[in-house]
Structure formats: structure tokens, C-alpha cells
Amino acid sequence: QVTLKESGPALVKPTQTLTLTCTFSGFSLSTPAMRVSWIRQPPGKALEWLARIDWDDDKFYNTSLKTRLTISKDTSKNQVVLTMTNMDPVDTATYYCARVSGVEFDYWGQGALVTVSS
Amino acid sequence: QSALTQPRSVSGSPGQSVTVSCTGTSSDVGGYNYVSWYQQYPGKAPKLMIYDVTKRPSGVPDRFSGSKSGNTASLTISGLQAEDEADYHCCSYAGNYAWVFGGGTKLIVL
């Protein structure tokens, strides 16, 4: 059974760095073709793809946010970490991690709401 | 990448069919057969319903079907049921390891 769960701070201040952790089970990121992405959804707005990390440590970022994002993995802990620097109130959103199967997101975490406010 | 265009809402009565459209460009929807659809209940995580334009994951009822023509993809739900009332999001691969989503469509079952 594949499960993913996001964790991290619910509130961050403007200009701070956000660190989110995705802890998953039911698959291994050391297995070829396994991939995990981060996706966010501002309140009442569209989903937005942020980043992806592959089993071979290849990393891909949304070009609009690339300078602020870093994705990494700890295979031994079954975790993927996303950091986003220089947080702004417009970054307030529910952040999801999802497993990537082929080109689609087949399993999603429950999401973590992050509010950016002073 | 600009978000794909979806209607804000669609509605139908139980037993009817409804179609949700998703319009992009030749750089995303029109350029790849990699459109997926996600169902999302309020406060819940999205669930994959259709991938590769027309394919259904195991466990998804065959009432859900997908298609594509040019730069527009469509999700059709036949035999509408009350439990189908949810938000539906389309997503397309956009090349260069990037994905773009639609704004979401609220399906109202009358």
C-alpha cells in the first residue's frame, strides 16, 4: 500500500525559508523509475507543479520558482525534502507530495497547509 | 507556463452525462498524449482518475472516460451519481520536465 505524508511548519514569516518533508511507504526511491513530485494549491486556486526528484537523483524544477527551490531525498528514511527560500504571503498554499508513475501523479499525500504571515 | 483553461463549474442530474473541458496549447495538451485528470473532494487530496488521455487506473469506474482533440482534452462522466460531486483538475505534461494544471472545475450534481 502506497502512502505519502507531508510535514512541516504551518506558519512561516515572510523572507523565511520553508522546509517540508514527505515521508512515504509502499515503494522505494532507490528503485528504478520511481519519482516523487511536490505540488501546491493556493486557497481557491489552481494546482501548481513545483519540483520532481527521481530514483537516480535527477532533479527538475518549475522554471518560475527554480531559484527558490531545492528538492532532495533520503532513501534510507523514505523521505523527500523540499525547501523554498524567501517565502512571501503569495506562497500561502496547501503543499502536496505525490508519487510520479510514468507522467502522472498516482498517489498523493494529504497535504500540508502553509501560511505565510508576519 | 500558463494554467490550462477549465470551466469554473458544470452541472448535471443523476443518471445524466457531463463533460469537463480542458484547453491548453500545442506546447502542452496538443503536443503530448499525457493528459491526466484528478478528482478532489473538499479538504482532501486529489485522486488520479484518468491518465495518458484515455486510460483509467484500476478501481476507477468505467463511467469516467477521457479524450482529446487538438489542444482540448475532455473528461466525460456518464451515469452521474451524487458521489461524483467534487472538483476535477486536468493536468498536462508541458515538455522539459514540466507539468501544467487547469484551474479546476466544480461538478454539481443537481
For B51-101, the pLDDT digits (tens) are 999 999 999 999 999 999 999 999 999 999 999 999 999 999 998 888 999
pLDDT for residue A88? 97
Q: Are B49 and B60 in contact (CB under 8 A)?
A: yes
**Alpha-carbon distance A14 to nearest alpha carbon in chain B (angstroms):** 25
Computed over every residue of chain B, the mean pLDDT equals 95
- Cβ contacts (< 8 Å) between A105 and chain B: which residues? 36, 38, 46, 48, 91
Q: Which residues pair with B109 in a beta bridge?
A: B12
pLDDT of amino acid B1: 60
Residue B96 burial (C-beta neighbours within 10 Å; 0-12, 13-18, 19+): exposed
Q: Which of the 8 DSSP states describes residue B8?
A: S
pLDDT at A65 over 80: yes
pLDDT higher than 80, residue B2: no
B52 and A109 within 8 Å at the Cβ level: the answer is no
Q: CB–CB of B52 and A103 under 8 A?
A: yes
Mutation for A interface: B51, B87, B99, most A CBs within 10 A: B99
pLDDT attached to residue B78: 97
Beta-carbon contacts of residue B13 (< 8 Å; ≥ 6 apart): B80, B109, B110
Cα A104 to chain centroid, rounded: 15
Residues of chain A above pLDDT 70, percent: 100
Strands B87-93 and B35-40: antiparallel
Contact A103 B38 (CB under 8 A): no
pLDDT of residue A10: 97
Give chain B's end-to-end CA distance (angstroms, integer).
35
Between CA B38 and CA B47 the distance in angstroms is 5
